[in-house]
Protein backbone atom coordinates (compact mmCIF):
# COMPACT_ATOMS: atom_id res chain seq x y z
CA UNK A 1 0.00 0.00 0.00
CA UNK A 2 1.32 3.41 -0.95
CA UNK A 3 1.67 6.06 1.75
CA UNK A 4 2.90 8.82 -0.56
CA UNK A 5 1.15 12.16 -0.54
CA UNK A 6 -1.64 12.59 -3.06
CA UNK A 7 -1.73 15.81 -5.09
CA UNK A 8 -3.96 15.13 -8.08
CA UNK A 9 -7.14 13.12 -7.84
CA UNK A 10 -9.06 11.57 -10.72
CA UNK A 11 -12.74 10.83 -10.25
CA UNK A 12 -14.95 8.54 -12.30
CA UNK A 13 -18.38 6.92 -12.26
CA UNK A 14 -18.53 3.35 -13.50
CA UNK A 15 -20.98 0.49 -14.11
CA UNK A 16 -24.71 1.12 -13.74
CA UNK A 17 -25.71 4.75 -13.08
CA UNK A 18 -27.42 5.67 -9.84
CA UNK A 19 -29.11 8.88 -8.66
CA UNK A 20 -26.81 10.71 -6.26
CA UNK A 21 -23.62 10.02 -8.22
CA UNK A 22 -23.51 13.71 -9.16
CA UNK A 23 -23.79 14.74 -5.52
CA UNK A 24 -20.81 12.47 -4.78
CA UNK A 25 -18.77 13.92 -7.66
CA UNK A 26 -19.51 17.42 -6.39
CA UNK A 27 -18.43 16.51 -2.85
CA UNK A 28 -15.17 14.90 -3.96
CA UNK A 29 -14.23 17.79 -6.26
CA UNK A 30 -15.03 20.53 -3.76
CA UNK A 31 -13.33 18.77 -0.83
CA UNK A 32 -10.21 18.23 -2.94
CA UNK A 33 -10.16 21.87 -4.04
CA UNK A 34 -10.65 22.97 -0.42
CA UNK A 35 -7.43 21.11 0.42
CA UNK A 36 -5.59 22.68 -2.51
CA UNK A 37 -5.51 19.50 -4.62
CA UNK A 38 -5.99 19.36 -8.39
CA UNK A 39 -9.11 17.50 -9.45
CA UNK A 40 -9.73 15.66 -12.71
CA UNK A 41 -12.97 14.28 -14.13
CA UNK A 42 -12.60 11.02 -16.07
CA UNK A 43 -15.40 10.48 -18.58
CA UNK A 44 -17.31 7.19 -19.07
CA UNK A 45 -15.66 5.22 -16.30
CA UNK A 46 -12.60 3.18 -17.14
CA UNK A 47 -13.21 3.76 -20.87
CA UNK A 48 -12.32 7.45 -20.48
CA UNK A 49 -9.17 6.53 -18.61
CA UNK A 50 -8.08 4.35 -21.55
CA UNK A 51 -9.19 6.88 -24.22
CA UNK A 52 -7.64 9.80 -22.32
CA UNK A 53 -11.00 11.54 -21.98
CA UNK A 54 -9.97 13.42 -18.86
CA UNK A 55 -10.42 17.08 -17.94
CA UNK A 56 -9.48 19.29 -15.04
CA UNK A 57 -12.37 20.34 -12.82
CA UNK A 58 -12.88 23.48 -10.82
CA UNK A 59 -15.57 24.43 -8.37
CA UNK A 60 -17.88 25.61 -11.16
CA UNK A 61 -17.58 22.28 -13.00
CA UNK A 62 -19.83 20.78 -10.35
CA UNK A 63 -22.22 23.71 -9.92
CA UNK A 64 -25.94 22.99 -10.04
CA UNK A 65 -25.62 19.18 -10.20
CA UNK A 66 -26.48 18.05 -6.66
CA UNK A 67 -30.14 17.65 -7.61
CA UNK A 68 -29.59 15.89 -10.93
CA UNK A 69 -29.90 12.13 -11.57
CA UNK A 70 -27.52 10.27 -13.87
CA UNK A 71 -23.90 11.36 -13.87
CA UNK A 72 -22.23 14.35 -15.54
CA UNK A 73 -19.12 12.19 -15.97
CA UNK A 74 -21.18 9.60 -17.87
CA UNK A 75 -20.69 5.95 -17.14
CA UNK A 76 -19.77 2.87 -19.12
CA UNK A 77 -18.62 -0.70 -18.96
CA UNK A 78 -15.15 -1.27 -20.39
CA UNK A 79 -14.04 -4.66 -21.70
CA UNK A 80 -10.62 -3.25 -22.47
CA UNK A 81 -9.99 -2.46 -18.80
CA UNK A 82 -10.38 -6.16 -18.00
CA UNK A 83 -7.16 -6.78 -19.95
CA UNK A 84 -3.64 -5.85 -18.68
CA UNK A 85 -2.92 -3.87 -21.88
CA UNK A 86 -6.02 -1.73 -21.35
CA UNK A 87 -5.09 -0.98 -17.76
CA UNK A 88 -1.52 -0.09 -18.80
CA UNK A 89 -2.91 2.40 -21.34
CA UNK A 90 -5.11 3.86 -18.61
CA UNK A 91 -2.14 4.15 -16.25
CA UNK A 92 -0.02 5.93 -18.87
CA UNK A 93 -2.76 8.55 -19.28
CA UNK A 94 -2.91 9.15 -15.54
CA UNK A 95 0.87 9.34 -15.22
CA UNK A 96 1.07 11.85 -18.06
CA UNK A 97 -1.03 14.24 -15.97
CA UNK A 98 0.47 13.30 -12.64
CA UNK A 99 -2.81 11.92 -11.31
CA UNK A 100 -1.80 9.98 -8.21
CA UNK A 101 -5.11 9.04 -6.58
CA UNK A 102 -8.51 7.82 -7.79
CA UNK A 103 -12.07 7.92 -6.49
CA UNK A 104 -14.31 5.34 -8.14
CA UNK A 105 -18.07 5.62 -7.74
CA UNK A 106 -19.69 2.35 -8.80
CA UNK A 107 -20.59 -1.18 -7.88
CA UNK A 108 -18.65 -4.31 -7.00
CA UNK A 109 -17.41 -4.83 -10.57
CA UNK A 110 -15.90 -1.34 -10.58
CA UNK A 111 -14.22 -2.05 -7.23
CA UNK A 112 -12.78 -5.28 -8.61
CA UNK A 113 -11.23 -3.28 -11.45
CA UNK A 114 -9.95 -0.65 -8.99
CA UNK A 115 -8.32 -3.25 -6.74
CA UNK A 116 -6.55 -4.85 -9.69
CA UNK A 117 -5.42 -1.47 -11.04
CA UNK A 118 -4.11 -0.37 -7.67
CA UNK A 119 -2.17 -3.61 -7.16
CA UNK A 120 -0.56 -3.30 -10.58
CA UNK A 121 0.37 0.37 -10.56
CA UNK A 122 0.50 1.45 -6.92
CA UNK A 123 -2.17 4.10 -7.36
CA UNK A 124 -4.35 4.50 -4.26
CA UNK A 125 -8.04 4.00 -5.00
CA UNK A 126 -11.09 4.82 -2.93
CA UNK A 127 -14.45 3.28 -3.76
CA UNK A 128 -17.84 4.87 -3.11
CA UNK A 129 -20.80 2.48 -3.30
CA UNK A 130 -22.95 3.82 -6.12
CA UNK A 131 -25.67 1.34 -7.01
CA UNK A 132 -29.44 1.23 -6.74
CA UNK A 133 -29.22 -2.49 -5.87
CA UNK A 134 -27.64 -2.10 -2.39
CA UNK A 135 -25.78 -5.35 -2.95
CA UNK A 136 -22.48 -4.32 -1.38
CA UNK A 137 -21.41 -5.14 2.15
CA UNK A 138 -19.89 -2.49 4.40
CA UNK A 139 -22.57 0.17 4.13
CA UNK A 140 -26.15 0.41 5.36
CA UNK A 141 -26.96 2.40 2.25
CA UNK A 142 -25.57 2.72 -1.23
CA UNK A 143 -25.86 5.89 -3.30
CA UNK A 144 -29.04 5.65 -5.38
CA UNK A 145 -30.87 2.97 -3.42
CA UNK A 146 -33.15 5.32 -1.51
CA UNK A 147 -34.16 7.18 -4.67
CA UNK A 148 -34.86 3.94 -6.55
CA UNK A 149 -36.98 2.62 -3.69
CA UNK A 150 -38.96 5.84 -3.45
CA UNK A 151 -39.58 5.79 -7.20
CA UNK A 152 -40.81 2.20 -6.89
CA UNK A 153 -43.08 3.14 -3.97
CA UNK A 154 -44.62 6.01 -5.90
CA UNK A 155 -45.30 3.76 -8.89
CA UNK A 156 -46.69 0.87 -6.82
CA UNK A 157 -49.05 3.24 -4.99
CA UNK A 158 -50.50 4.18 -8.37
CA UNK A 159 -50.85 0.53 -9.35
CA UNK A 160 -52.65 -0.13 -6.08
CA UNK A 161 -55.30 2.41 -7.05
CA UNK A 162 -56.16 0.58 -10.24
CA UNK A 163 -55.83 -2.84 -8.56
CA UNK A 164 -58.37 -1.60 -6.02
CA UNK A 165 -60.76 -0.21 -8.62
CA UNK A 166 -60.91 -3.52 -10.51
CA UNK A 167 -60.26 -6.04 -7.70
CA UNK A 168 -57.21 -7.20 -9.55
CA UNK A 169 -54.16 -9.14 -8.56
CA UNK A 170 -51.08 -7.18 -9.59
CA UNK A 171 -47.62 -8.64 -9.85
CA UNK A 172 -45.08 -5.84 -9.86
CA UNK A 173 -41.48 -6.48 -10.83
CA UNK A 174 -38.80 -4.20 -9.46
CA UNK A 175 -35.07 -3.98 -10.17
CA UNK A 176 -32.18 -5.10 -7.99
CA UNK A 177 -30.28 -7.59 -10.17
CA UNK A 178 -29.60 -10.56 -7.91
CA UNK A 179 -30.48 -8.63 -4.74
CA UNK A 180 -33.94 -8.25 -3.24
CA UNK A 181 -33.59 -5.02 -1.28
CA UNK A 182 -35.62 -2.78 -3.60
CA UNK A 183 -38.39 -5.41 -3.56
CA UNK A 184 -38.26 -5.82 0.21
CA UNK A 185 -38.25 -2.12 1.07
CA UNK A 186 -40.77 -0.99 -1.55
CA UNK A 187 -43.00 -4.01 -0.87
CA UNK A 188 -43.24 -3.31 2.84
CA UNK A 189 -43.76 0.40 2.27
CA UNK A 190 -46.65 -0.20 -0.14
CA UNK A 191 -48.35 -2.90 1.92
CA UNK A 192 -47.69 -5.73 -0.55
CA UNK A 193 -49.24 -9.08 0.31
CA UNK A 194 -46.23 -11.03 -0.79
CA UNK A 195 -42.65 -10.12 -1.59
CA UNK A 196 -40.43 -12.50 -3.52
CA UNK A 197 -36.67 -12.01 -3.25
CA UNK A 198 -33.72 -14.01 -4.57
CA UNK A 199 -32.20 -14.35 -1.10
CA UNK A 200 -34.94 -16.69 0.11
CA UNK A 201 -36.46 -19.72 -1.53
CA UNK A 202 -39.89 -19.01 -2.97
CA UNK A 203 -42.54 -21.50 -1.90
CA UNK A 204 -44.99 -21.29 -4.78
CA UNK A 205 -47.62 -23.49 -3.05
CA UNK A 206 -47.60 -21.21 -0.04
CA UNK A 207 -47.97 -18.18 -2.30
CA UNK A 208 -50.94 -19.70 -4.13
CA UNK A 209 -52.53 -20.74 -0.82
CA UNK A 210 -52.22 -17.27 0.63
CA UNK A 211 -53.68 -15.68 -2.51
CA UNK A 212 -56.57 -18.19 -2.50
CA UNK A 213 -57.18 -17.53 1.17
CA UNK A 214 -57.31 -13.78 0.57
CA UNK A 215 -59.69 -14.25 -2.35
CA UNK A 216 -62.05 -16.18 -0.10
CA UNK A 217 -61.99 -13.38 2.44
CA UNK A 218 -62.68 -10.90 -0.37
CA UNK A 219 -59.53 -8.99 0.33
CA UNK A 220 -59.80 -6.06 -2.01
CA UNK A 221 -56.29 -5.56 -3.27
CA UNK A 222 -53.68 -8.18 -3.90
CA UNK A 223 -50.25 -6.91 -4.63
CA UNK A 224 -47.21 -9.13 -5.13
CA UNK A 225 -43.81 -7.46 -5.46
CA UNK A 226 -41.15 -9.61 -7.09
CA UNK A 227 -37.45 -8.84 -7.50
CA UNK A 228 -36.17 -9.21 -11.05
CA UNK A 229 -33.61 -11.74 -9.83
CA UNK A 230 -36.04 -14.07 -8.08
CA UNK A 231 -35.64 -17.75 -8.90
CA UNK A 232 -38.98 -17.73 -10.76
CA UNK A 233 -37.49 -15.23 -13.19
CA UNK A 234 -39.64 -12.16 -12.61
CA UNK A 235 -43.24 -11.02 -12.96
CA UNK A 236 -44.14 -12.58 -16.32
CA UNK A 237 -42.97 -16.04 -15.35
CA UNK A 238 -44.74 -15.78 -12.01
CA UNK A 239 -47.96 -14.58 -13.66
CA UNK A 240 -47.96 -17.61 -15.97
CA UNK A 241 -47.85 -19.94 -12.97
CA UNK A 242 -50.49 -17.99 -11.03
CA UNK A 243 -52.87 -17.77 -13.99
CA UNK A 244 -52.67 -21.54 -14.39
CA UNK A 245 -53.25 -22.31 -10.72
CA UNK A 246 -55.63 -19.45 -9.92
CA UNK A 247 -57.54 -18.86 -13.18
CA UNK A 248 -60.38 -17.04 -11.42
CA UNK A 249 -58.07 -14.17 -10.40
CA UNK A 250 -57.79 -11.17 -12.71
CA UNK A 251 -54.01 -11.16 -12.78
CA UNK A 252 -51.96 -8.35 -14.29
CA UNK A 253 -48.26 -7.69 -14.60
CA UNK A 254 -46.34 -4.43 -14.30
CA UNK A 255 -42.57 -4.28 -14.81
CA UNK A 256 -41.27 -0.97 -13.46
CA UNK A 257 -37.95 -1.14 -15.33
CA UNK A 258 -35.59 1.75 -15.89
CA UNK A 259 -37.70 4.49 -14.32
CA UNK A 260 -36.16 3.22 -11.07
CA UNK A 261 -32.71 4.39 -12.15
CA UNK A 262 -33.44 7.96 -13.05
CA UNK A 263 -34.76 11.08 -11.40
CA UNK A 264 -33.66 13.59 -8.86
CA UNK A 265 -31.92 11.96 -5.86
CA UNK A 266 -33.71 11.95 -2.52
CA UNK A 267 -32.44 13.93 0.45
CA UNK A 268 -30.92 10.76 1.94
CA UNK A 269 -29.00 9.93 -1.24
CA UNK A 270 -27.67 13.49 -1.54
CA UNK A 271 -26.66 13.42 2.11
CA UNK A 272 -24.80 10.08 2.06
CA UNK A 273 -23.19 10.96 -1.29
CA UNK A 274 -21.94 14.25 0.17
CA UNK A 275 -20.59 12.60 3.33
CA UNK A 276 -18.96 9.74 1.44
CA UNK A 277 -17.44 12.08 -1.15
CA UNK A 278 -15.93 14.26 1.56
CA UNK A 279 -14.44 11.25 3.37
CA UNK A 280 -13.07 9.74 0.14
CA UNK A 281 -10.70 12.71 -0.17
CA UNK A 282 -9.86 12.59 3.54
CA UNK A 283 -8.91 8.92 3.09
CA UNK A 284 -6.61 9.65 0.17
CA UNK A 285 -4.94 12.46 2.10
CA UNK A 286 -4.50 10.44 5.28
CA UNK A 287 -3.05 7.32 3.69
CA UNK A 288 -6.18 5.20 4.17
CA UNK A 289 -6.03 3.57 0.77
CA UNK A 290 -7.92 0.94 -1.22
CA UNK A 291 -11.02 1.04 0.91
CA UNK A 292 -14.67 1.55 0.18
CA UNK A 293 -16.19 4.38 2.18
CA UNK A 294 -19.51 3.31 3.67
CA UNK A 295 -21.87 4.37 6.43
CA UNK A 296 -22.85 1.91 9.15
CA UNK A 297 -25.08 2.96 12.05
CA UNK A 298 -24.73 6.52 10.82
CA UNK A 299 -20.93 6.47 11.22
CA UNK A 300 -18.30 6.32 8.52
CA UNK A 301 -17.14 2.77 7.93
CA UNK A 302 -14.18 1.65 5.84
CA UNK A 303 -14.07 -1.72 4.12
CA UNK A 304 -11.05 -2.97 2.18
CA UNK A 305 -12.06 -3.04 -1.49
CA UNK A 306 -11.47 -6.82 -1.45
CA UNK A 307 -14.17 -7.39 1.15
CA UNK A 308 -16.62 -4.94 -0.38
CA UNK A 309 -16.36 -7.05 -3.49
CA UNK A 310 -16.88 -10.46 -1.98
CA UNK A 311 -19.46 -10.02 0.74
CA UNK A 312 -23.16 -9.43 0.25
CA UNK A 313 -25.53 -8.01 2.80
CA UNK A 314 -27.89 -10.44 4.47
CA UNK A 315 -31.60 -10.03 4.05
CA UNK A 316 -33.63 -9.51 7.21
CA UNK A 317 -35.77 -12.63 7.63
CA UNK A 318 -37.73 -10.78 10.30
CA UNK A 319 -38.84 -8.25 7.70
CA UNK A 320 -40.45 -10.97 5.61
CA UNK A 321 -42.34 -12.14 8.69
CA UNK A 322 -43.61 -8.60 9.20
CA UNK A 323 -44.89 -8.58 5.59
CA UNK A 324 -47.03 -11.66 6.25
CA UNK A 325 -48.49 -10.32 9.48
CA UNK A 326 -49.24 -6.85 8.17
CA UNK A 327 -50.83 -8.13 4.97
CA UNK A 328 -53.30 -10.42 6.74
P1 LIG B 1 -20.70 -2.41 -11.41
O2 LIG B 1 -19.55 -1.60 -10.96
O3 LIG B 1 -21.98 -1.63 -11.41
O4 LIG B 1 -20.80 -3.73 -10.66
P5 LIG B 1 -19.64 -3.84 -13.73
O6 LIG B 1 -19.63 -5.16 -13.04
O7 LIG B 1 -20.12 -3.80 -15.12
O8 LIG B 1 -20.49 -2.75 -12.97
O9 LIG B 1 -18.14 -3.27 -13.71
C10 LIG B 1 -17.82 -2.01 -14.25
C11 LIG B 1 -16.49 -2.06 -14.96
O12 LIG B 1 -15.45 -2.40 -14.03
C13 LIG B 1 -16.36 -3.11 -16.04
O14 LIG B 1 -16.90 -2.70 -17.27
C15 LIG B 1 -14.85 -3.27 -16.16
O16 LIG B 1 -14.30 -2.26 -16.93
C17 LIG B 1 -14.41 -3.10 -14.70
N18 LIG B 1 -14.20 -4.42 -14.09
C19 LIG B 1 -15.13 -5.25 -13.57
N20 LIG B 1 -14.58 -6.39 -13.14
C21 LIG B 1 -13.25 -6.30 -13.43
C22 LIG B 1 -12.10 -7.18 -13.24
N23 LIG B 1 -12.23 -8.37 -12.68
N24 LIG B 1 -10.90 -6.72 -13.66
C25 LIG B 1 -10.76 -5.52 -14.21
N26 LIG B 1 -11.79 -4.67 -14.41
C27 LIG B 1 -13.01 -5.04 -14.03
Both 15 and 102 in one domain: the answer is: yes
Residue 79 lies in a domain: yes
Check which CATH number belongs to the domain holding 91 and give it.
3.40.50.450
Both 44 and 167 in one domain: the answer is: no
Greater pLDDT, 249 or 95: 95
Per-residue burial over 82-117, b if 16 or more Cβ lie within 10 Å, else e, is eeeebbebbbebbeeeebbbbbbbbbbebbbbbbbb
Last residue of a domain, one of 261, 296, 319: 261
Nearest CA to ligand 1 atom 5: 109
Confidence of residue 312 (pLDDT cuts 50, 70, 90): low
Say if residue 2's pLDDT is above 50: no
Confidence of residue 215 (pLDDT cuts 50, 70, 90): low
Both 93 and 241 in one domain: the answer is: no
Summarised one tens digit per residue, pLDDT across range 168-196 is: 899 999 999 989 999 999 999 999 999 99
Check which CATH number belongs to the domain holding 228 and give it.
3.40.50.460
Last residue of a domain, one of 200, 231, 261: 261
Report whether 294 contacts 129 (CB < 8 A): yes
What is the 50 CA–ligand 1 centroid distance (Å)? Answer: 14
What is the 155 CA–ligand 1 centroid distance (Å)? Answer: 31
Across the range 38-64, mean pLDDT stands at 98
Summarised one tens digit per residue, pLDDT across range 81-104 is: 999 999 999 999 999 999 999 999
Distance separating alpha carbons of residues 177 and 215, to the nearest angstrom: 31
What is the 11 CA–ligand 1 centroid distance (Å)? Answer: 16
Tell me, what's the pLDDT at 69?
Answer: 97
| CA 243 remoteness from chain centre | 33
Domains contained in the chain, number: 2
Greater pLDDT, 313 or 94: 94
Residue 37 lies in a domain: yes
Confidence of residue 1 (pLDDT cuts 50, 70, 90): very low
Both 251 and 271 in one domain: the answer is: no
User: What is the atom index within ligand 1 of the atom nearest the CA of 107?
Assistant: 2
Is 133 part of the annotated catalytic residue set?
yes
Confidence of residue 309 (pLDDT cuts 50, 70, 90): confident
Output the furthest CA–CA distance in the chain (Å, rounded): 71
Mean pLDDT of the chain: 93
User: What is the atom index within ligand 1 of the atom nearest the CA of 80?
Assistant: 16
What is the 79 CA–ligand 1 centroid distance (Å)? Answer: 8
Of 100, 133, 135, 230, the active-site residue reads 133
Say if residue 219's pLDDT is above 70: no
Both 255 and 287 in one domain: the answer is: no
Both 240 and 278 in one domain: the answer is: no
Both 55 and 164 in one domain: the answer is: no
Residue 328 lies in a domain: no
Structural domain containing residue 152? 146-261
User: What is the atom index within ligand 1 of the atom nearest the CA of 106?
Assistant: 2
Residue 315 lies in a domain: no
Both 52 and 82 in one domain: the answer is: yes
Confidence of residue 316 (pLDDT cuts 50, 70, 90): confident
Summarised one tens digit per residue, pLDDT across range 110-145 is: 999 999 999 999 999 999 999 999 989 899 999 999
Across the range 215-230, mean pLDDT stands at 81
Residue 181 lies in a domain: yes
Reading across the β-sheet that carries 222-227, which strands appear in turn? 194-196, 222-227, 169-174, 251-255
Residue 56 lies in a domain: yes
Residue 52 lies in a domain: yes
Say if residue 216's pLDDT is above 90: no
Residue 324 lies in a domain: no
Both 272 and 198 in one domain: the answer is: no
What sections of the chain are H helices per DSSP?
21-34, 46-51, 84-97, 108-121, 145-166, 181-189, 204-216, 235-245, 267-285, 305-310, 317-326
Across the range 251-256, mean pLDDT stands at 96
Q: Which residues line ligand 1 (CB under 6 A)?
A: 14-16, 46, 77-78, 81-82, 106-110, 112-113, 116, 131
Could you give the percent of the chain with pLDDT greater than 70? 95
Both 105 and 236 in one domain: the answer is: no
Both 13 and 123 in one domain: the answer is: yes
Both 188 and 271 in one domain: the answer is: no
Nearest CA to ligand 1 atom 19: 109
Amino acid sequence: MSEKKVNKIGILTSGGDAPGMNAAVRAVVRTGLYHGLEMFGIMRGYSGMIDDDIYQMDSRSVANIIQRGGTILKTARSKEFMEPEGRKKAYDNLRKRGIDGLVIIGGDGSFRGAQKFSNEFDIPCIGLPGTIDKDIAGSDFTIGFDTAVNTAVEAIDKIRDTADAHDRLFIVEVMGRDAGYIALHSGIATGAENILVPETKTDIDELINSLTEKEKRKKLVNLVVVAEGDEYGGANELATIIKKRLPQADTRVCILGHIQRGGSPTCLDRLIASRMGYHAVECLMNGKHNVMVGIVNNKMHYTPLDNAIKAKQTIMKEWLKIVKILAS
